[in-house]
Structure 1
């Protein structure tokens, strides 16, 4: 369906407003827009998770089996010391605890037994010497930590109630200090000072506060208290495993980098392993399935009989100690839809750094996605305006598929996180929906207008064509080549005198209804009813090919319809014994240029046609009686429908015209014109007309006799008029 200029402008303005709105919304990037983008990134990982391999990372799991064997958590610290010593003895490269030992061990004998005696639980009070000789399990654990490559954890706090963690690693900046860009903390929850002092490393176990829907996607690698930079647990585990003294932070204004605005983190290097981060120093975790072979039960490590078997799983590897027990409430959701222990998040981050299989969100991504949103929306609007809603949806879908394909290509081959969802889905659901909804509304309004304006004048098929292509309707008036029809009832005055007003209305309805159907069935437009007359035209408001032929066929069918109505006494003239028994009509046709359009006032108008061609058609219909034929047409109409059966009536003077106009009696359609009987009559008629034009009375009389002999009864009146003309010629001829 083609769209008119006015409709195109309105749709473009409204859809353009929605496009600017959704593009601006993407530029401001509120929380729900971010959530849509992150869910798309989750979909990438579900479809194409990170490749599984045997990475030098293991989790020593305080699992249900361990809790069943050694009792509920927390365990006594000397048992954790035993665990630490066993792991160090099996050759662990580093041992990172995803546990915070913030309070003294309440199960330590030197604290627990004196407490029992004070409360009278043992019945006797311990001697001071014995009490002082009881072991302090925190010190036992600290000695074990000091003898092993241990990393302890701390958690960041938003309030001031905590402390500052011990900083074990040095920091170097390649570029400016990015402290202002890092997630800041007011204080931290740390392990006991005696434990912190003994540890080789100290790292944050906290995850990103920016992840939504409870899904872990990023691990902050750096934190700050506003002055110094502190590492994460995974970074410290990797540093200690390599024996490195610190790490290097590269920022956006480093050599070779293009920086805009304050310095931001681009990547970090820990020992021999560099990895990219977000501008806030967060690491995108590329997950794979949480495999069972990633875990070693703490119960097996603490069992001397099993250590030899599990030693190959520990030796030379980074060991993370944590828990998978649901009761200890350290379960997290991943983009893969799995619920995993929190320690698994750190393990997967370490595996990813060691493998070099990274995800990154390039700094140009936001700008590219905003531009893509605008350009795709612009394309959608253009497609709707140029091709309509269906083709716009199809081509827009192809463009969306190209965007998705490009984003998937960059993800799978370069690990880039680009969002095709917002530019495509939002454009299709907002911009496309707005454009098509308005298009539908305007189209329906046009259809209602067409039905209201033309339903009573046009055939249903023509109304449907106008509804489908309303731009074929030009309002306000235009010049078109048209064929105009006028129909009038012969002898209407005597008929009206015999009928009551009510009967007269019933008669007109019975006559004009079938005649109107004949016009509409031949793609004609009814202009108006004038008493017992009908005015109609062809080739407006829609283009109608061969409109002169259609009008001629309609005129013939109208005469035949009246004949059938008379035969059936449809008007009940014979049944009522009226003086007038039959009804006759006269039809006049003319073809020529006329002005057609809506005419009247703003509040009330008619779709009508005016011009000299209309006046001539009306005069031709008035001359039917003078010509003696039911259907009379102009020379232009006869020329446009040359295959029909016409007989020249001669040049007849018409009221209001200074010169006579050549008219023709329409006596049959193309099939009738092809019959031998008509061809013979047409030849005889041509000789008659030649004789009259030559003012040859004798030859005219002979020609008239031949025509009367060949003509059907319906043409008797027609040739009677020729007889009158010949008589007038004879009277006027000189003696």
Structure 2
């Protein structure tokens, strides 16, 4: 046992260590992302295979949009007309229903005008109420004095339904019937011979349980009988398909459109092809493929329907029944109706069965039948091939897998672009299939599935990244500054010490007279004062894309053009300084520090700002354990000294000559030269007066002219002219730079005193 234990324990140890190594990648965010992608794709594929109602409606609305963009173009003079029982016809011949004798006259008249076939989109399921036999029954129950004479007269008149049947025997006529879900024994006559290859149609077509049919007398007289049903699969009130074949489980009936086309060609039957036929492999389930009516072939869906490809409903398709029955219109009607398939229906108010179509236009039911006949004759129809569903499922898997892989490899941003490309590609390919080949391929579900897969993978990665950031914050938050911590979370490589050479605009800001202020305030009040002042000043800097380097008591150091490029950084630094001046003025006016309320002798807070532009080293500086993103170099030192010199020059905003050259559109006045410590030559400085609007004003132009005159007088030693120009400048200068001319006056007095001493 001891030997066995010595042999087994190392094996168990290696197995345990292997299991731990196996679990570590399983816990990795990329593995979780892959699992999320697989789970999403499996769920979406299962949903597409089941195809609930929302998926079907989304797909069909996409097909509707295609038809609106490119409806069927009407071919030249298609032989299909609608004889319309419209408002004018009802006004001429009375309200509906008309006596069957008038319909007999209409049918006979259409035959005389050369109609190839007359198809009624109307069901005549009840006897004519105005026929003589019905009137005789009503008179038999009355006590009229001339009843017997009236009855004898009525018996001499022909039966209205018989007259209509006789007219139909003279003119090839097709009647409609409606299949219903309610059980009854009513069935229409079968006028069409059926030949089929492959699966038996009656075994595939969904059986109906009952029917609303025509009178047997009329059914027998008609040359054809066809169903006027719309597809039970269409939802939302939009007609997208028409059943071309229907069955009661034993017999097969064509649609009204197919039957009208058959009779018009003088054919005895139709040919239906299904799966299992020669040249058609079985697909795993019985389905219909297409049907032939005479010389015309029409693709079918699995259950014997055809997709409706409509064009705009136009008035040339319609002929008023009133004009057909008008003898004076014979020649015009012959030109319109001879050799055509005539469908009789109604658009009159209260009688029309209006239907919404994919192109967004509402049409009467008879126009739907006419549109179907037209597209068969024109051989321009839509088809959803039997491989479409499988192709869409495969595309869902392929596109979803592709985008998931891109998220893992290239990141979320690039993958989002790829996802958009997938959207555009799927819609573009589907549109080409529709517009060029009349194929209905769904672009919506594969695209949405791709997007959902992208979201699932991206969310898993994002959640994992957040978890990593929380770990970094917990691990390093105690000894790293928040700004650096945020940068570390985004770019861990930023922890490297050192920096880069960049051109920067550097600002130093200091509060004038801070020592007396701090002595007059308690520690808490001093903190409140500093926060009240520095907070809006910091906002002004950041509004102009500045980076705040550090706060040094009552001072701020900031710079522009790092860590991100700011092309106009010198001008932005100047505009930030002008905003800071306005902030201090606003705070003083509102007594935001409470100095005036306390009765402080000088309640006005003043600041000094120095700006310089040049090349500096910027980056993470410090030790390996504690460092900060900062700037170093001569440009920083000069900016600090310019800020210190601003008090001597009597102005709050002082900039270097380099800043003045980089921001020439701002209002700047030369303040003079100063020899800064450590510099071999004097540094020329400029007072910042205002922004571009101030620089473009006439008042500043005048001040500039006077200012140049003052410098010329001082350079020439002309004390009288210098005094006059100084007075003029003081009168023209805004309050913000009034101290500058006080500085000039002091320097002029010192120069005069030196000259007097020398003399």
TM-score by length of 1: 0.63
Q: Structure 1 residues 122 and 34 mapped into 2: Cα distance closer, same or farther (>3 Å)? A: farther
Q: 1:182 aligns with which of 200, 205, 224?
A: 205
- 1:45 corresponds to 2:59: no
Q: 2:235 aligns with which of 212, 216, 219?
A: 212
Name 2:412's counterpart in structure 1. Answer: 389
8 Å CA contact 1:57–1:317 kept in 2: the answer is: yes
8 Å CA contact 1:268–1:274 kept in 2: the answer is: yes
Q: Give the secondary structure class of the aligned counterpart of 2:158.
A: coil
Cα offset, 1:442, TM superposition: 3.5
- Bigger drift between 10-19 and 246-255 goes to 10-19
Give the whole-Å Cα distance in 2 for the aligned partners of 1:160 and 1:44.
Answer: 39
Give the whole-Å Cα distance in 2 for the aligned partners of 1:465 and 1:290.
Answer: 64
Q: 1:108 aligns with which of 122, 131, 141?
A: 131
8 Å CA contact 1:216–1:334 kept in 2: the answer is: yes
Cα offset, 1:135, TM superposition: 2.4
Bigger CA radius of gyration: 1
- Bigger drift between 278-287 and 11-20 goes to 11-20
8 Å CA contact 1:117–1:126 kept in 2: the answer is: no
Name 2:159's counterpart in structure 1. Answer: 136
Q: 1:12 aligns with which of 6, 12, 34?
A: 34
Name 2:55's counterpart in structure 1. Answer: 33
Q: Structure 1 residues 166 and 461 mapped into 2: Cα distance closer, same or farther (>3 Å)? A: same
Cα offset, 1:113, TM superposition: 5.2
Cα offset, 1:13, TM superposition: 2.0
Name 1:249's counterpart in structure 2. Answer: 272
8 Å CA contact 1:178–1:263 kept in 2: the answer is: no
8 Å CA contact 1:116–1:122 kept in 2: the answer is: no
Give the whole-Å Cα distance in 1 for the aligned partners of 2:456 and 2:199.
Answer: 48
Q: Which digits, 9 at most, give the CA deviation of each residue in 1:141-199, with x for residues without a partner?
A: 00000101100111101122241110111011122313221131112111101001111
Q: 1:290 aligns with which of 310, 313, 317?
A: 313
Name 2:263's counterpart in structure 1. Answer: 240
8 Å CA contact 1:162–1:189 kept in 2: the answer is: no
Name 1:442's counterpart in structure 2. Answer: 464
Matched residues, number: 507
- 1:366 corresponds to 2:389: yes
Give the whole-Å Cα distance in 1 for the aligned partners of 2:349 and 2:440.
Answer: 32
Q: Give the secondary structure class of the aligned counterpart of 2:168.
A: helix
8 Å CA contact 2:288–2:300 kept in 1: the answer is: yes
Q: Give the secondary structure class of the aligned counterpart of 1:153.
A: strand
Q: Give the secondary structure class of the aligned counterpart of 1:306.
A: helix
Give the whole-Å Cα distance in 2 for the aligned partners of 1:87 and 1:126.
Answer: 36
8 Å CA contact 2:479–2:626 kept in 1: the answer is: no
Q: 2:171 aligns with which of 148, 154, 172?
A: 148
Q: Which digits, 9 at most, give the CA deviation of each residue in 1:642-690, with x for residues without a partner?
A: xxxxxxxxxxxxxxxxxxxxxxxxxxxxxxxxx9xxxxxxxxxxxxxxx
Give the whole-Å Cα distance in 2 for the aligned partners of 1:88 and 1:294.
Answer: 18
- 1:415 corresponds to 2:473: no
Name 1:71's counterpart in structure 2. Answer: 94
Give the whole-Å Cα distance in 2 for the aligned partners of 1:337 and 1:160.
Answer: 35
Cα offset, 1:117, TM superposition: 5.9
8 Å CA contact 2:139–2:147 kept in 1: the answer is: no
Q: Structure 1 residues 185 and 6 mapped into 2: Cα distance closer, same or farther (>3 Å)? A: same
Name 2:253's counterpart in structure 1. Answer: 230
Correspondences of 1:507-586 after superposition (within 5 Å): none
8 Å CA contact 1:94–1:150 kept in 2: the answer is: yes
Cα offset, 1:111, TM superposition: 1.5
Cα offset, 1:73, TM superposition: 1.1
8 Å CA contact 1:138–1:195 kept in 2: the answer is: yes
Q: Give the secondary structure class of the aligned counterpart of 1:367.
A: helix
Give the whole-Å Cα distance in 2 for the aligned partners of 1:420 and 1:305.
Answer: 55
8 Å CA contact 1:218–1:285 kept in 2: the answer is: yes
Name 1:339's counterpart in structure 2. Answer: 362
Name 1:274's counterpart in structure 2. Answer: 297
Name 2:541's counterpart in structure 1. Answer: none
Q: Structure 1 residues 94 and 261 mapped into 2: Cα distance closer, same or farther (>3 Å)? A: same
- 1:22 corresponds to 2:22: no
Cα offset, 1:19, TM superposition: 2.1
Q: Give the secondary structure class of the aligned counterpart of 2:28.
A: helix
Correspondences of 1:585-734 after superposition (within 5 Å): none
Give the whole-Å Cα distance in 1 for the aligned partners of 2:384 and 2:211.
Answer: 29
Name 1:468's counterpart in structure 2. Answer: 490
8 Å CA contact 1:183–1:222 kept in 2: the answer is: no
Give the whole-Å Cα distance in 2 for the aligned partners of 1:162 and 1:545.
Answer: 96
Q: Structure 1 residues 38 and 553 mapped into 2: Cα distance closer, same or farther (>3 Å)? A: closer
Give the whole-Å Cα distance in 2 for the aligned partners of 1:259 and 1:236.
Answer: 29
Name 1:299's counterpart in structure 2. Answer: 322
- Bigger drift between 46-55 and 436-445 goes to 436-445
Cα offset, 1:205, TM superposition: 0.5
Give the whole-Å Cα distance in 2 for the aligned partners of 1:457 and 1:57.
Answer: 86
Name 2:83's counterpart in structure 1. Answer: 60
Cα offset, 1:333, TM superposition: 0.7
Cα offset, 1:93, TM superposition: 0.7
Give the whole-Å Cα distance in 1 for the aligned partners of 2:366 and 2:100.
Answer: 20
Give the whole-Å Cα distance in 2 for the aligned partners of 1:549 and 1:9.
Answer: 34
8 Å CA contact 2:497–2:621 kept in 1: the answer is: no
Q: Structure 1 residues 4 and 452 mapped into 2: Cα distance closer, same or farther (>3 Å)? A: farther
Cα offset, 1:462, TM superposition: 2.5
Q: Structure 1 residues 423 and 545 mapped into 2: Cα distance closer, same or farther (>3 Å)? A: farther
Cα offset, 1:310, TM superposition: 1.6
Cα offset, 1:131, TM superposition: 3.4
Give the whole-Å Cα distance in 1 for the aligned partners of 2:54 and 2:273.
Answer: 31
Cα offset, 1:452, TM superposition: 4.1
Cα offset, 1:94, TM superposition: 0.7
Name 1:588's counterpart in structure 2. Answer: none
Q: Give the secondary structure class of the aligned counterpart of 1:10.
A: helix
